[in-house]
Structure 1
Amino acid sequence: MQRLTEQILAHAEGLPEGTPLAAKSLLHLGNRAALDQALSRLTERGQLIRAGRGVYLRPVASRFGTRAPSVEQAVEALASQRGEVIVSNGAAAANALGLTTQVPIRSVYLTSGRSRTMNFGKQVIELRHAPRWQLTLANRPAGEAVRALAWLGPDKADEALKVLKRKMPAGAFGELVAVAPQLPTWLARSVGKSAYG
C-alpha cells in the first residue's frame, strides 16, 4: 500500500498548475490528523508550499529549479474551490483601465470570503473581505470599473467616468449603468450623471 505522503503527491500531480490542496479535499485518503501531519511533512521537504492556513500548493518544476505557481492561476483556482468571488483590488483595476499610472506594490485581492494572507513562495498576497457591491460583475470590465471608481473616490469619479465612457465598449458601459442601483449613493449618482449627461 502507498504511503499517505505518496498518495497526496500523486493527487497533487494530477491537478492543474496552481490548484490549491486542502486537507478537506483529501479526506478520501485518510483521517484529518494523518492528512495534516503528512501535508506538514511534505511542506518541510519542499514538495508542497504552504500558501495559508490549511491551503497548500504544488511547486512548479522548471529547468531553472522549482518555483511557486502563478498567483493569478492560484487565486482563480482558490476562488472556484472555495466558492468565493476573488477579484483584483480597486488600485489594480484603475491601473488596468488606464485611470492611473500608479502600479500597486502589494498584491491585494478583494474577496467575498474572510480576510487573510497567503504566501506564494516569497510573494505575500492579501485577500480582503469586500462589500458585495464591490464584487458585482466580478471579472467583467464593468466590474473592474466599479472597483476602480470606488478606489478613486467621490472627488475623482465624475472625471474618471468621462474617460471610461469614451474607452469602454458601449455594452460594458451599459452594464455599469445597469448595476448603478446596487452601488453606494455617491457612485450611483455619478454613474447616472455620466450615462445621461
Structure 2
Amino acid sequence: MKKVHTQIADQIARKKPGALIFPTDFRGIGTETAIKQALFRMARNGTIRRLAHGIYHTPKIDSILGELRPGAEDVVNMIARKEKIHIVPSGANAMNTLGLTTQVPTKLVYLTDGSPRKLKIGKLEVRMKATSRKRLSRIGKISSLVILALEETALHQIDDTTKHKIKSLLEQEDPRKLKHDLSLAPAKVNDFIVNLFKPFTTMKK
C-alpha cells in the first residue's frame, strides 16, 4: 500500500490549477496527523500553497497577472458545500454584494447554521457567525440579501440615493417571495422597506 504522502500527492496532481484543498479531502487515507504533515511538507516544498489555517490550494499562474489566489468567497462557498451548511453574507458584506456600496470591506461576515469560525485570507478577515434557522429561511435571492444588509445598518443614516437603489433591487424580486421574507424580518426592517413602497404602490398579496 502506498504511503499517505504519496497517495495525497497523487490526488493533488490530478487537481486543476487553483483548486482548494482541505485536510478532510483525504479522510480514510491516513490519520489526521499524517494528512496534515503531508500537506505541510507539500506546502513547504511549493507543490501546494497555504491559503489560511487548514486550507491550501494548487498553484495557478496567469501570464499577465502572475500567481492567482482563490478568493474568500470561493473558500466560503467550498466550506458550505463540504460541510453541507448554509452560508449567507451579512451587513457590509451583503451591502457590497448587492452593489449598494463601493467600499470594499476589510472584514467579510457571513451567517451560517454551521460552526462559527474565523479565517485570515491574506489581509482579509473572514468571520462565519452562527445564527438562527429563521434568518436563513428567507427565500428571495434579492430580498433575503437586502434584509440581511439592513439588519446591521443604521437605517436612519441611509440616504435617498441608496434608498432608491434598494427599492429598484426589490422591484426585481418576486412579490410573493418579498412578502414571505418580510414576515421573517425584524420590525424596523419591515417598516423601512414598506415605507419605500408606500408613496408608489402597496404590497401585492
Q: Letter of the 1:20 partner, please give it.
A: L
**Judging changes above 3 Å, is the alpha-carbon distance between structure 1 residues 100 and 80 closer, same or farther for their aligned structure 2 residues?**
same
Per-residue deviation, 1:135: 4.1
- Does the 8 A contact of 1:177 with 1:192 survive in 2? no
Percent of aligned pairs with the same amino acid: 21
**Backbone CA RMSD of aligned residues:** 3.3
Partner of 2:178: 176
The gaps in structure 1 that reach 5 residues or longer are none
How many residues are aligned here? 194
Instruction: Output the CA distance in 2 between the equivalents of 1:81 and 1:15.
Output: 16
Comparing 33-42 with 8-17, greater Cα deviation is found at 8-17
TM-score, scaled relative to structure 1: 0.75
Aligned to 2:192: 190
Bigger share in helix: 1
Alignment of 1:33-182 (within 5 A): 33-63=33-63, 66-101=67-102, 103-112=103-112, 113=114, 114-119=116-121, 122-129=122-129, 131-132=131-132, 134-137=135-138, 140-156=141-157, 163-172=165-174, 174-182=176-184
Question: Could you say what secondary structure the match of 1:171 adopts?
Answer: coil
The 8 Å contact of residues 15 and 58 in structure 2, kept in 1 or not, is answered as no
- 8 A Cα contact 2:91 2:151, kept in partner: yes
Query: Could you tell me how far apart the structure 1 residues matched to 2:62 and 2:135 are?
Result: 37
Which residue type is aligned with residue 165 of structure 1?
K
Q: Could you say if the C-alpha distance between residues 168 and 179 of structure 1 is closer, same or farther in structure 2, counting changes exceeding 3 Å?
A: closer
Give the CA deviation at 1:91: 1.8
| 2:81 alignment partner AA | S
Matching residue's letter, 2:36: D
Shift of 1:5: 2.8
Once the two structures are TM-superposed, the CA of residue 145 in structure 1 deviates from its matched residue by: 0.9
**2:29 equivalent in structure 1:** 29
CA deviations 1:103-150 (Å, max 9, x no partner) are 12414130313131132xx34341230534554548922222112212
